[in-house]
A and B are shown apart, each in its own frame.
Chain A
Amino acid sequence: MMHKLVTSFYGKLSLLLLACFIVIGVVLTILAKQLTQTYQSEVEQKLHLKLAEHIVHDNQLFRDDKIDYDAIKHAFHGMMILGPSFEFYVVNPQGKILTYSADPDRIKRESVSTIPIHDFMKGIQPLPILGDDPRSNHKQKIFSVSPIYEGINLKGYLYIIIGGEIYDDIADLLQKSHIMSLGGWSVLLILAMTLLVALLLFAMLTRPLRKLTLDMEYLRKNGFDNEHLRMSEWRPDSADEIERLGSSFNELVSALNTQYQKVKNTDELRRELISYVSHDLRTPLSSLQGYLETWLLKNPEGESNRELIEVAMNNAQHMSKLIEQLFELAYLDADDVILNIEPISIAELSHDVIRKRLIEAESKSITLDVNPKDSGILLMADYQKLERVLSNLLDNALRHTRSGGHIEIRFSKETDKNWMIQIIDSGIGIPEHEIKDVFLGHFKASNSIKGKGENSGLGLAICKRIVELHKGQLKVESTLGKGTVFKFELTEA
Chain B
Amino acid sequence: MDKNILVIEDDQDINNLITMNLRDLRHIVDPCEHGGQGLQRAMKGLYDAIVLDITLPEIDGLEICRQLRASNINTPILMLTARDSEADRVVGLEMGADDYLTKPFSVRELQARVKAMLRRADMMKAPDKPKIETLEFDGLSINPAKRSVSLNDNNIELTSTEFDLLWHLAKQPGLVFSRSQLLDSVWGYQHSGYEHTVNSHINRLRNKLEQDPSDPKYVLTIWGVGYKFNDA
List residues of A whose CB falls within 8 A of some B CB: 279, 282-283, 285-291, 293-294, 297-298, 316, 320, 327, 331, 342-345, 348-349, 351-353, 355-356, 373, 375-378, 383-384, 387, 493
Contact A286 B223 (CB under 8 A): no
Q: Assuming A287-B11, A353-B196, is B105 touching A348 (CB within 8 A)?
A: no
Residues of B within 8 A of A (CB): 11, 13-14, 17, 20-21, 24, 82-85, 103-108, 179, 193, 195-196, 199-200, 202-204, 206-207, 213-216, 221, 223-224
Chain A-chain B contacts (Cβ-Cβ < 8 Å), number? 99
Given contacts A290-B14, A297-B107, A493-B213, 5 further A-B contacts (CB under 8 A): A286-B17, A287-B13, A345-B221, A348-B199, A352-B179
8 nearest A-B pairs in the assembled complex, by CB-CB distance: A376-B214, A286-B104, A287-B13, A290-B17, A293-B107, A282-B103, A286-B103, A352-B199
Residue of B nearest to A340 (CB): B88
Contact B200 A291 (CB under 8 A): no
Distance in Å from the Cβ of B14 to the closest Cβ of chain A?
Answer: 5
Which of A286, A331, A348, A375 has the most C-beta atoms of chain B within 10 angstroms of its own C-beta? A286
In the bound complex, residues from chain A placing their C-beta under 8 Å from that of B104 are: 282, 285-286, 288-290, 316, 320
21 A-B contact pairs sorted by A residue (CB < 8 Å): A282-B103, A283-B82, A286-B105, A288-B104, A290-B17, A290-B105, A294-B17, A327-B83, A331-B85, A342-B204, A343-B203, A343-B207, A343-B213, A345-B206, A345-B213, A345-B214, A349-B196, A375-B214, A375-B221, A378-B214, A493-B214
Note all chain B residues with C-beta closer than 8 A to A331.
83, 85
Find chain B residues with CB under 8 A from A286 CB: 11, 14, 17, 103-105
Asked if B85 contacts A294 (CB within 8 A), the reply is: no
B203 contacts A373, CB within 8 Å? no
Per the bound structure, the CA–CA distance linking A292 and B117 in Å amounts to 25
Interface SS of chain A: helix, strand, loop or mixed?
helix
Q: Which of B11, B107, B214, B216 is in CB contact (< 8 Å) with A294?
A: B107
User: Can you name the residue of chain A whose Cβ is closest to the Cβ of B192?
Assistant: A356
Q: How far is the CA of A325 from the CA of B140 in the complex (A)?
A: 43
Whether B17 contacts A373 by the Cβ 8 Å rule is no
- Among the listed B179, B203, B223, which residue makes an inter-chain contact with A344, where contact means beta carbons less than 8 Å apart? B203
A342 and B208 CA atoms in complex are apart in Å by: 11
CB-CB nearest in chain A for B80 = A286
Closest B residue to A342 by beta carbon equals: B207
- Asked if A352 and B213 make an inter-chain contact with CB atoms under 8 angstroms apart, the answer reads no
| Docked-complex contact A349 and B193, CB < 8 angstroms | no
CA separation between A344 and B107, bound complex, in Å?
33
Contact A373 B223 (CB under 8 A): yes
**B21, A294: Cβ atoms closer than 8 Å:** yes
CB neighbours (8 Å) of B106 from chain A are: 289, 293
- Chain B residues with Cβ below 8 Å from A291 are 13, 17
Chain B min CB distance to A112 (Å):
107
Q: Which of B21, B103, B195 contacts A283 (CB 8 A)?
A: B103
A-side contacts of B223, CB under 8 Å: 351, 373, 375
- A375 contacts which chain B residues (CB < 8 A)? 214, 216, 221, 223
Residues on A with C-beta less than 8 A from B84 are: 384
Residues of A within 8 A of B13 (CB): 287, 291
Q: Is the CB of B108 within 8 A of A293?
A: yes
Query: Within 8 Å CB of B221, what residues of A?
Result: 345, 348, 375
* Chain B residues closer than 8 Å to A351, beta-carbon distance: 223-224
In the assembled complex, the Cα of A24 lies from the Cα of B103 at a distance in Å of: 88
Chain A residue contacts of B105, Cβ below 8 A: 286, 290
* B-chain residues with CB within 8 Å of residue A378 when the two chains form the complex: 213-214
Chain A proximity of B115: nearest CB distance (Å): 15
> Is A352 touching B103 in the complex (CB atoms < 8 A)?
no
B22 to chain A, nearest CB (A): 11
Give every chain B residue within 8 A of A384 (Cβ-Cβ). 84, 200
B contact residues around A283 at 8 Å (CB): 11, 14, 82, 103
A355→B203 CA distance, assembly (Å): 17
Which residues of A are found within 8 Å of B103, using beta-carbon distances? 282-283, 285-286
Per the bound structure, the CA–CA distance linking A269 and B202 in Å amounts to: 40
**Which residue of chain A has the shortest Cβ distance to B199 in the bound complex?**
A352
A355 close to B82 (CB less than 8 A): no
Q: Tell whether, in the assembled complex, residue B108 and residue A352 are in contact, meaning their CB atoms are under 8 Å apart.
A: no
| Residues on A with beta carbons closer than 8 Å to the beta carbon of B107 | 290, 293-294, 297
* A296 and chain B: residue at smallest CB distance: B107
Please, which residues of chain B bring their CB within 8 A of the CB of A293? 106-108
